[in-house]
């Protein structure tokens, strides 16, 4: 089918979740809510605000319930949160959030370390989660991590990425985000894998989630746009990383993404100055929260995903 030129995009801001989850020093709920408020003021409509995961796996997001309960009630906002299992869904429903995302990967080693399940076990866990969430009228997204490269298993064949994507769609998820978890994909990798996926999956179901380890995230966005893909995840100020993916660096920066899209004549509706203020403000909070030397010993003792080696 002919590729339609992309005229508008959906940007999913993941800074409050993916951006903050790797930050060791816990920042307070008020600072997170102020950050989210600034992102919304800049014009971002889709914001992934937290995760209902085990608090020991991601201590930074253990205040998920309070974050969601404190969100500014603004018209047209789509707030979402990660949910790994039924326990997470119960907590999400209690918070009142209306959009969730389940997350798996192409690689068994990565999913074991990340969520203590094989890929097949993750689908067994997600089946009742997605079924219940859809019955409650929630929007459900699915993530495919290690879609191009895995920190443990190396280069991933596009057939594996397609398989996990199709299994998520078969569960009923409404959008699938394709993750370059450790930021190793090149534009050629993006073109190869996504061309394969697009032979089987409608373009409007697919989002691209780039980390920027090698500085290629914007080139990967350009390669995606050339295929008609128009949903991009990014993080204000380029914060981010996954503690269970060695080598994962910051996400594609929303500031850079917006600047790039506008330069390509694709309007985003986002006020870049306000966005830069939001990014600078959260960076300031994080640098003010950096540990004193005396605190470093106790931070190294933080329990992280006790069932897995990382
Ligand atoms: P587990 O230890 O296997 O869990 O962890 P379990 O089911 O065996 O339960 C053990 C205990 O944990 C039980 O408590 C449960 O109730 C409790 P007990 O009965 O012993 O008192 N529990 C929970 N508590 C709170 N919330 C929950 C929950 N689930 C169980 N949801 C689990 C499995 C999945 C929970 C854990 O491994 C986990 O939370 N992992 C999350 C890791 C994570 O958040 N990683 C980062 C996100 S993924 C990412 O960044 C990639 C992405 O950005 C895309 C990309 O870049 O590629 C999305
Ligand atoms: Mg990520």
Out of 242, 261, 282, 285, which one is annotated catalytic? Answer: 242
- Tell me whether residue 109 is in a domain: yes
Question: Which numbered atom of ligand 1 lies nearest the CA of 242?
Answer: 50
- Tell me whether residue 203 is in a domain: yes
Q: Are strands 154-155 and 149-150 parallel, antiparallel or unpaired?
A: antiparallel
- Tell me whether residue 3 is in a domain: no
- Tell me whether residue 2 is in a domain: no
Domain CATH code at residue 186: 3.20.20.70
Is 110 a pocket residue for ligand 1 (Cβ < 6 Å)?
A: no
Instruction: Spell out where 206-291 has E strands.
Output: 206-210, 231-234
Domain that holds residue 166: 10-303
- Give the global pTM: 0.94
Output b/e per residue, 217-252; b: 16+ Cβ within 10 A.
bbbbbebbbebbbbbbbbbbbbbbbbbbbeebbbbb
| Ion ligand 2 contact residues with beta carbon within 5 A | 18
Stretches where the chain sits below pLDDT 50 are 293-310
Number of compact structural domains in the chain: 1
Q: Are strands 149-150 and 206-210 parallel, antiparallel or unpaired?
A: unpaired
Q: How many residues does the chain have?
A: 310
- Say what the pLDDT of residue 291 is: 61
- Tell me whether residue 204 is in a domain: yes
- Say what the pLDDT of residue 276 is: 97
- Say what the pLDDT of residue 303 is: 34
**150 a catalytic residue:** no
- Tell me whether residue 214 is in a domain: yes
Is 307 a pocket residue for ligand 1 (Cβ < 6 Å)?
A: yes
- Say what the pLDDT of residue 292 is: 53
Q: Residue 102: phi, psi to the nearest 5?
A: -95, 155
- Tell me whether residue 25 is in a domain: yes
- Tell me whether residue 5 is in a domain: no
pLDDT tens digits for range 205-259:
999 999 999 999 999 999 999 999 999 999 999 998 777 878 777 999 999 999 9
- Say what the pLDDT of residue 84 is: 98
Assess contact for 252 and 234: CB atoms under 8 A.
yes
């Amino acid at each position: 089918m002919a590729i339609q030129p992309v005229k508008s995009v959906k940007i999913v801001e993941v800074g409050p979740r993916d951006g903050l989850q790797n930050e060791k020093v816990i920042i307070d709920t008020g600072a997170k809510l102020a950050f989210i408020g600034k992102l919304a003021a800049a014009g971002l409509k889709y914001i992934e605000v937290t995760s209902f995961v085990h608090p020991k796996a991601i201590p930074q997001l253990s205040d998920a319930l309070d974050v969601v309960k404190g969100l500014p009630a603004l018209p047209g906002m789509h707030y979402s949160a990660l949910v790994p299992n039924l326990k997470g869904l119960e907590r999400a429903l209690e918070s009142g959030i209306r959009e969730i995302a389940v997350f798996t990967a192409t690689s068994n080693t990565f999913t074991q370390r990340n969520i203590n399940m094989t890929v097949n076990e993750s689908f067994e866990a997600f089946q009742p989660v997605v079924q219940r969430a859809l019955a409650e009228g929630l929007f459900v997204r699915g993530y495919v991590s290690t879609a191009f490269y895995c920190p443990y298993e190396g280069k991933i064949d596009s057939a594996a990425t397609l398989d996990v994507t199709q299994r998520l769609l078969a569960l009923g998820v409404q959008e699938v985000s394709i993750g370059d978890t450790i930021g190793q994909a090149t534009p050629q990798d993006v073109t190869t894998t996504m061309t394969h996926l697009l032979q089987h999956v409608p373009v409007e179901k697919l989002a691209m989630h780039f980390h920027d380890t090698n500085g290629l995230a914007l080139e990967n966005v350009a390669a995606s746009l050339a295929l008609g893909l128009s949903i991009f995840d990014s993080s204000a100020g380029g914060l981010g990383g996954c503690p269970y993916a060695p080598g994962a660096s910051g996400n594609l920066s929303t500031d850079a993404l917006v600047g790039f899209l506008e330069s390509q004549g694709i309007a985003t509706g986002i006020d870049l100055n306000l966005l830069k203020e939001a990014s600078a403000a959260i960076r300031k909070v994080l640098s003010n929260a950096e540990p004193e030397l005396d605190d470093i010993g106790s931070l190294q003792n933080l329990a992280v995903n006790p069932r897995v080696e990382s």
